[in-house]
Amino acid sequence: MAATRTDGDPGLFGPGSVTWQAHGDPMMWVAGVRALYLQALHPRAVRGVMQNSDFRRDAWGRLMRTAGFVGTTTYGTTEAAERAGARVRKIHSMLGATDPDTGERYGVDEPALLLWVHCAEIGSYLHVLRRSGFPLTDAHADRYLAEHRHSARLVGLDPASVPANRAELAAYFARVRPELAAGADAHEVDDFLLRPPTHPLLVPARALLWRRVARLAYDSLPPYAHELYGRSAPPPATVTRRLRATGTLLRLVPARLRWQLPPKHILRAMARLGPGVRPAPYKIGRQAAILDRPGEGAAD
């Protein structure tokens, strides 16, 4: 068995968490695109993005910054995770948006908006991973959601206000559903995700690869999202088969090869803590069982 060093900083979640194992899966990229689709359906939230960033020109940068934040908070040191959270909170505290209909000015760090972004993101990660075949039981899913009260704290939320299990998350989405709509900003996000600007030489690759990813992410949205966007999706069973096939294909790519892509959070964590902490699906049950033993593991 590969050695694991016990003197290194395990970070915010640590190798014994569900998050540590789940976030190393390649389907996280599909899940991230799904999260963008879902987040854009909250008019106040997406308005804050569109009015404070050059989303049209820097959407790739935004996506990579989000991926970097998730990687740092999952696999980085505790200090790095706290720094990343402080940076996000500082940026959000300086930004606001204006409702064009009422003239109301509001901050993008309103707790209700932060909670929507968090739940749409974490809910999408969990949904895509499970539906694509990653081995998460209902108990694992609840543990995952409870763990992410930590990441919610980093962006400025009171952890006690954040859904900590599947029932609470479902109740939250049901409660916020009447506030959702697909306005002009949401349709602009949709258009970008289907046809992101790219170098002319890469247009064929965009049509062949990226559009399939974007469509799969869109198809995996809940039915009410399809209704709001005004575009239908295949039957749920078809979408599930496609998610599982995509997950199976991507998981055939050697993990060491995937992890070579910048910014190499997982490789740095393994260098810090030892090769035995490499994330892998088969560790989910074993690590969760260890955490369930009295007196072991971190409290939720």
Over residues 46-61, the pLDDT tens digits come to: 999 899 877 666 666 6
Q: What DSSP character marks residue 272?
A: H
Task: Write down the pLDDT at residue 196.
Answer: 73
**pLDDT band for position 297 (50/70/90)?**
very low
Average pLDDT, the chain: 89
Query: What is the spatial distance between Cα 31 and Cα 217, in angstroms, rounded to a whole number?
Result: 7
From the number of C-beta atoms within 10 Å of its C-beta (0-12, 13-18, 19+), residue 222 rates as: middle
94-117: pLDDT as tens digits: 999 999 999 999 999 999 999 999
Query: What is the spatial distance between Cα 64 and Cα 226, in angstroms, rounded to a whole number?
Result: 26
Residue pair 155/92 in contact (Cβ under 8 Å)? The answer is yes
**pLDDT band for position 201 (50/70/90)?**
low
Task: Write down the pLDDT at residue 56.
Answer: 64
What mean pLDDT do residues 14-41 have? Answer: 96
Q: What Rg, from alpha-carbon coordinates, does the chain have?
A: 19
Query: Residue 293: is its pLDDT beyond 70?
Result: no
Task: Write down the pLDDT at residue 290.
Answer: 45
Residue labelled with tokens 């998050």: 19
